[in-house]
Chains A and B, each alone.
Chain A
Amino acid sequence: MVKRLSLDNISKFYALVAAEYTVYSPSQKGGLVSLEPKKYFDRYSLFKFQTIMPPKKVLLENVYDLESNPKEQKLAFFGIHLCDVKAIATMDRIFAKDPFYRAKRDDSLIVATGCQPTESCFCHVFGANKHQGFDLFIQEEHDGMFTVFAKSAKGVELLQKSKGKILMSASYQPIGQNQNEIDLSELTDAVENRRLFEQHWQGIANNCFGCGACTAVCPLCFCFDTIDRTDPEGGNCHRSRTDDACFFANFSKISNHDFRPENVDRLYNWYHHKFVRGPKENGDFLCVGCGRCITACPANLNIIRILSAIDNVFDRATN
């Protein structure tokens, strides 16, 4: 189902969604735009640029008591971009048996929207610019009107309730893309071959602070740690889940051995997980090309340049 809505009706449509769901939407917060629960539509709800944090921050929220029964929630993401939608689809496969993820995700609604490429994004490389994976898609037209596409039963049901003219046919505008290119054909082989590129990896690691900022903002970084928290009053103890980052020292340490003692080992492991192990386990790279890690890196490391350089070295070494 496709409808044509005015801005006013989009705002009313948002209220319709908010009546049923807790809606997370891009919001202005401290000069930045982040995904926040918001009851009313505003000018940031269909923001063309990226939110600081991806939806995983909501879906994989730290759990206070891992041994409790998760509460089922009705969440909606309103105004997220297609790269994040694709990341959610990959996360769905990875966390299929995690009850806390499922409690948030099973009844959730995704309302995606178009975006403007920034200098650091490269979603087309991973096919993350395709119009799929959402319940609804809102497209701003040149005349200031909005075309709303409903792709799922949930989406159709909501859109039926909104005011607006039903369109018999409408087409998606292609998502804009920039010049960033990475050749994926040999990427897995190139990254897997660490010994061939030891110098290259060491060079990157020399500049990397190992702070883990990239893992915090990545829509497909999901590793976690568990910590036992004791209630100061009651003496009750809960096993909690917290974010972790594979860049941290001791991440894979056991009592008598550290399997990744150097920063270069941990940095390499991050790339290896995203481009070698991820595809093996989930059939998809653990990267959607959102470019958040580039924006977040305090050392100005750039995943596009790092991967392109490896591809080039690999080409030279193998041809």
Chain B
Amino acid sequence: MLNPYRTIPVTILDKKTLFEGEVWLKLDYRLDFKPGQFIEISLPGFGESPVAPCSDPIDNKFVEIVVRDVGSLTRAINSLAVGDKIHLRGPYGNGWPLKKLLHHDLIILAGGTGIIPLRPLLFNIINNPKKYGKIYLLLGAKDPQSHIFRDNFAVWKKKFFHFKTIVDQAPNNYLGLKGVITDLLKPLKLNPKKTVALMCGPEVMCPFCVESLEQKSIPSDRIFISLERRMKCGLGLCQHCNCGKYLVCQDGPIFDWETIKDELRR
């Protein structure tokens, strides 16, 4: 019987600081994963933590992750250099419901680092433009620097039907929009019959977005949300990640709003 707890040591091929405390890593490992799934990264002595890969799932010679310095493990990983090794295992979870997205317009909402599990899906959309309808991509962040993957913005603007970013706070000379993500969502005219909404971000953001989407008559079983919980084992055993009657590492991390709305308040 294979030991599902066993991790694989992988070499860091490239490293870039995206923003203070937030590091992008390219790892020498071929990972077969579906957009929206997560992996467990670890360093001996510092424990394990779930992160979502943010790279193209088709061009999977390497896997890319973004690690934000929020605890002892992430701090230690962020201090590593190119050539050092980290450990990983996975992927786990269900991923975005790709079949349900086919030939639909997609409204994609990401707050801050919420863009990370959505980025593999964006690659998928760009590679298969005929499979999807209109793409609306809205990104919100705390301030202009917190928008990660700014290098991709030009491509996204060109490839997607509608692309807008917004920030909470910005210096006076900032040229972009200031406000919250629902400010971008409200003026949009969406076709409720063929639109699917996907969102990931701070959990406080989601009910507001859902309210706005429901005003546009998008049914709650076509609104998908990626949840973050403490997925310690990823195998459905340790019980740290339950959200009401669902285990986020097994039944999630992607849930439709209809299923999960009552569980979030439990």
8 A Cβ contacts from B1-22 to A: 1-7
- Distance of B109 from chain A, by nearest CB (Å): 19
Establish whether residues B1 and A102, one from each chain, have CB atoms under 8 Å apart when the complex forms: yes
Decide if B70 is an interface residue (CB 8 Å cutoff).
Answer: yes
Q: Provide the B41-60 mask, 1 if CB < 8 A to any CB of A, else 0.
A: 01011111000000000000
Which residues of chain B are within 8 angstroms of A16 by Cβ–Cβ distance?
none
Interface of B is mostly: loop
Which residues of chain B are within 8 angstroms of A67 by Cβ–Cβ distance?
3, 5-7
| Given A228-B44, A253-B230: A269 and B242 interface contact (C-beta under 8 Å) | yes
Which residues of chain B are within 8 angstroms of A68 by Cβ–Cβ distance?
3
Which residues of chain A are within 8 angstroms of B189 by Cβ–Cβ distance?
none
Size category, B interface: 35 or more
Decide if A173 is an interface residue (CB 8 Å cutoff).
Answer: no
Q: Provide the A112-150 mask, 1 if CB < 8 A to any CB of B, else 0.
A: 000000000000000000000000000000000000000
Please tell me which stretch of B25-33, B156-164, B176-184, B232-240 contacts chain A, meaning at least 4 of its Cβ atoms lie within 8 angstroms of it.
Answer: B232-240
Establish whether residues A237 and B47, one from each chain, have CB atoms under 8 Å apart when the complex forms: no
Establish whether residues B45 and A280, one from each chain, have CB atoms under 8 Å apart when the complex forms: no
Decide if B71 is an interface residue (CB 8 Å cutoff).
Answer: yes
| Given A230-B45, A237-B44, A246-B239: A254 and B233 interface contact (C-beta under 8 Å) | no
Chain A residue nearest to B242 in the complex (CB): A277
Alpha-carbon separation in the docked complex, A257 to B229 (Å)? 9
Decide if B193 is an interface residue (CB 8 Å cutoff).
Answer: no
Which residues of chain B are within 8 angstroms of A94 by Cβ–Cβ distance?
237
Which residues of chain B are within 8 angstroms of A70 by Cβ–Cβ distance?
3
Alpha-carbon separation in the docked complex, A194 to B265 (Å)? 10
Establish whether residues A256 and B48, one from each chain, have CB atoms under 8 Å apart when the complex forms: no
Q: Provide the B223-252 mask, 1 if CB < 8 A to any CB of A, else 0.
A: 000001110110101111111110100000
Central interface residue in A68, A222, A223, by most chain B CB within 10 Å: A223
| Given A67-B6, A97-B235: A252 and B230 interface contact (C-beta under 8 Å) | yes
Contact among B6, B233, B235, B240 with A252 in the assembled complex (CB-CB below 8 Å): B240
Which residues of chain A are within 8 angstroms of B42 by Cβ–Cβ distance?
239
- Distance of A56 from chain B, by nearest CB (Å): 13
Establish whether residues B3 and A272, one from each chain, have CB atoms under 8 Å apart when the complex forms: no
Chain A residue nearest to B44 in the complex (CB): A237
Chain B residue nearest to A194 in the complex (CB): B266
8 A Cβ contacts from A177-200 to B: 192, 194-195
Which residues of chain B are within 8 angstroms of A237 by Cβ–Cβ distance?
44-45
Establish whether residues B238 and A272, one from each chain, have CB atoms under 8 Å apart when the complex forms: no
Alpha-carbon separation in the docked complex, A155 to B230 (Å)? 43
Decide if B214 is an interface residue (CB 8 Å cutoff).
Answer: no
Establish whether residues A228 and B229, one from each chain, have CB atoms under 8 Å apart when the complex forms: no
- Distance of B73 from chain A, by nearest CB (Å): 9
Decide if A13 is an interface residue (CB 8 Å cutoff).
Answer: no
Establish whether residues A99 and B228, one from each chain, have CB atoms under 8 Å apart when the complex forms: no
Q: Provide the A257-281 mask, 1 if CB < 8 A to any CB of B, else 0.
A: 1010000000011001100110011
Interface size on A, residues (CB 8 A): 42
Decide if B84 is an interface residue (CB 8 Å cutoff).
Answer: no
Which residues of chain A are within 8 angstroms of B232 by Cβ–Cβ distance?
225-226
Central interface residue in B7, B42, B238, B242, by most chain A CB within 10 Å: B242
Decide if A251 is an interface residue (CB 8 Å cutoff).
Answer: yes
Alpha-carbon separation in the docked complex, A255 to B51 (Å)? 12
Which residues of chain A are within 8 angstroms of B71 by Cβ–Cβ distance?
255
Alpha-carbon separation in the docked complex, A8 to B240 (Å)? 49
Establish whether residues B45 and A251, one from each chain, have CB atoms under 8 Å apart when the complex forms: no
Which residues of chain B are within 8 angstroms of A194 by Cβ–Cβ distance?
266
Which residues of chain B are within 8 angstroms of A254 by Cβ–Cβ distance?
228-230
Which residues of chain B are within 8 angstroms of A98 by Cβ–Cβ distance?
4, 235, 237
- Distance of B76 from chain A, by nearest CB (Å): 11
8 A Cβ contacts from A51-71 to B: 66-70
Which residues of chain B are within 8 angstroms of A244 by Cβ–Cβ distance?
238, 240
Contact among B1, B44, B47, B245 with A277 in the assembled complex (CB-CB below 8 Å): B245
Alpha-carbon separation in the docked complex, A273 to B240 (Å)? 12
Which residues of chain A are within 8 angstroms of B238 by Cβ–Cβ distance?
223-226, 244
8 A Cβ contacts from A66-113 to B: 66-70, 94-95, 97-99, 102
Which residues of chain B are within 8 angstroms of A246 by Cβ–Cβ distance?
239
- Distance of A247 from chain B, by nearest CB (Å): 12
- Distance of B69 from chain A, by nearest CB (Å): 10
Alpha-carbon separation in the docked complex, A282 to B47 (Å)? 29
Decide if A7 is an interface residue (CB 8 Å cutoff).
Answer: no
15 A-B pairs, CB-CB below 8 angstroms? A67-B3, A69-B3, A97-B4, A99-B1, A99-B4, A102-B1, A222-B237, A228-B45, A230-B45, A239-B47, A252-B229, A254-B228, A255-B71, A255-B74, A272-B244
Residues of B within 8 A of A (CB): 1-7, 42, 44-48, 68, 70-71, 74, 203, 228-230, 232-233, 235, 237-245, 247, 265-266
Residues of A within 8 A of B (CB): 66-70, 94-95, 97-99, 102, 192, 194-195, 222-228, 230, 237, 239, 244, 246, 251-257, 259, 268-269, 272-273, 276-277, 280-281
10 nearest A-B residue pairs (beta carbon):
A255-B70, A223-B239, A237-B44, A66-B5, A277-B245, A99-B1, A67-B6, A237-B45, A228-B45, A99-B3
Instruction: Give 4 new A-B contacts, CB below 8 A, not counting A69-B3, A237-B44, A253-B230.
Output: A224-B233, A239-B47, A255-B71, A277-B245
